[in-house]
Amino acid sequence: QVKIEVLSGSKRVAHFIFNGTASSKTNWFDDDRLMESSYADLEEDTCYTYSYLSEYVHFFE
């Protein structure tokens, strides 16, 4: 599993949990891998997940 927590100061304000099994550094946050989120509407319409997270997630080789 891959977990992302969004913090405000030291308080968790949001989270996302993805299935990271057999994933790569660029597909672990695909919408079909989302297992749990603190945003109920993302679970219903997960196509928004990639565009939202891609603005904040940076990859390093």
d(CA 11, CA 27): 28
- Average pLDDT of the chain to the nearest whole number: 76
Average pLDDT for 3-18:
89
**HSE-up (13 A, CA, CB side) for residue 43:** 9
pLDDT digit string, tens, across residues 28-51: 878 888 899 887 766 555 444 455
DSSP conformation class of 50: H
Question: For the chain, what are the domain ranges?
Answer: 2-54
Find, among 49, 60, 56, the residue nearest to 25 by Cα: 60
Per-residue model confidence (pLDDT) at position 61 = 42
